[in-house]
Amino acid sequence: MIEILWEFVVSEENKDEFEHHYSAGGTWAQFFRRSAAFRGTTLLAGAGNRYITCDRWDSQEAYEGFRRANAEEYAALDRRFEPLTLAEHSLGIFEMK
C-alpha cells in the first residue's frame, strides 16, 4: 500500500470550502472512489492554515493507472480548486511498511 502526501496553504476565507472538497468524504475522495484500489483520504490541519492530505492506494501502479485513465477529469478538478489555495506542494509517494 502507498500513501500520497500533499501540503497546502489555504487562505482564511477559503478554509471551509477547502476542507469540504479535500476531506475524507470530499470531492477528491469521491472521484478517487471510482477505483477499487483507492483506500481513503485523510485531511490533517496544522497551524497557519496549513493542511496535509494523505491518499491511500493499493499500489503506485493502480494510482498512476487511474490518473492516466481519468486525466481530463483530474486536471479539471485541479483547476477548479486551485483558487482555494495559496500554495500547493507534493511531499511524495510513500510505501507503507
CATH code, 91: 3.30.70.100
**pLDDT value at position 36?**
98
Beta bridge partner(s), residue 90: 6
- Residue-wise pLDDT tens digits, 2-60: 999 999 999 999 999 999 999 999 999 999 999 999 999 999 999 999 999 999 999 99
How many domains does one find in the chain? Answer: 1
**pLDDT value at position 52?**
98
**pLDDT value at position 43?**
98
**pLDDT value at position 27?**
98
Angstrom distances, CA of residue 61 to CA of 19, 37, 95: 28, 10, 12
**Mean pLDDT, range 65-91, rounded to an integer:** 97
State the DSSP string of 33-92: TTSTTEEEEEEEE-GGGEEEEEEEES-HHHHHHHHHHTHHHHHHHHHHHGGGEEEEEEEE
pTM for this prediction: 0.93
Domain that holds residue 79: 2-95
